[in-house]
Amino acid sequence: MTEPQSALLLRRQLAVDKNGDVCISILHEPGEDKYGYEKPEERWLPIHTVETIMISVISMLADPNGDSPANVDAAKEWREDRHGAFKRKVARCVRKSQETAFE
């Protein structure tokens, strides 16, 4: 059995691309960002621990960055109707995750 690429719950998250890859600065290759969006010190460094990575993931979930989304469609929905259609889609993803969690 292999580990899942991402939980279904995250499929509607702005920082998760259509392939299910989590896109947060702390996990990006070290060095300069070719797009100039991230500072080198925001990217991967060998000093990061499980704790610093988890804090980054919690931050991503609590306060999504709509200015630099990996999932453009989700970001558009989030900006236009975050408390309506977007919230309903997230709720459906959560239910589906719960139903398939132990398969």
Show which residues are catalytic: 23
pTM: 0.66
Q: SS3 for 47? A: coil
Summarize pLDDT for 33-60 with one digit per residue, the tens. Answer: 888 888 998 898 888 888 998 998 888 8
User: Chain-wide mean pLDDT for the chain?
Assistant: 81
Using the CB atoms, write b or e for 56-79: b if 16+ within 10 Å.
bbeebeeebeeeebbbeebbebbe
Asked if residue 74 lies in contact with residue 14, where contact means CB atoms within 8 angstroms, the answer is yes
